[in-house]
Amino acid sequence: MGGGGAAGGTKKTLAILPHLLAGIFLGALAAIAAWFGFWVTLFTGRSPERIHDFAAGAIQWVMRSIAWLGGLNDEYPPFSLSVTPA
């Protein structure tokens, strides 16, 4: 079995820190944007596409980072809010 042992896990944790810090910040912004989006949707009957895309991009960013940290994906997650279809 290959595996980097504890040193590999420590390196991976340090490498993902920028993503997790950005994810915390983006999560707070996405929550605020979703709150505004709720009110816009309530009064106009239409969900703002840009707010939806921003919130979805923030969630996908955090999930890509967690998947990489957990070993579910080998590719280092990009710093991107782009929404990828399911």
Domain for residue 6, yes or no? Answer: no
Question: How remote is the C-alpha of 47 from its chain's centroid?
Answer: 21
Residue 72: both structure tokens together: 């579910």
Determine the average pLDDT of the residues in 59-86. 84
Q: Who wins on pLDDT, 4 or 38? A: 38
Number of structural domains (the chain) is 1
Q: Cβ(56)–Cβ(27) under 8 Å?
A: no
Domain for residue 3, yes or no? Answer: no
Answer whether residue 27 shows pLDDT above 50: yes
Domain containing residue 40: 15-86
Note the pLDDT of residue 1.
42
Residue 17: both structure tokens together: 């820190």
Domain for residue 27, yes or no? Answer: yes
Domain for residue 61, yes or no? Answer: yes
What share of the chain in percent tops pLDDT 90? 33
Domain for residue 9, yes or no? Answer: no
Q: Who wins on pLDDT, 17 or 86? A: 17
Dihedral (Cα; 70, 72, 75, 78), 10-degree rounding: -70
Determine the average pLDDT of the residues in 33-47. 94
Question: How remote is the C-alpha of 73 from its chain's centroid?
Answer: 14
Domain for residue 56, yes or no? Answer: yes
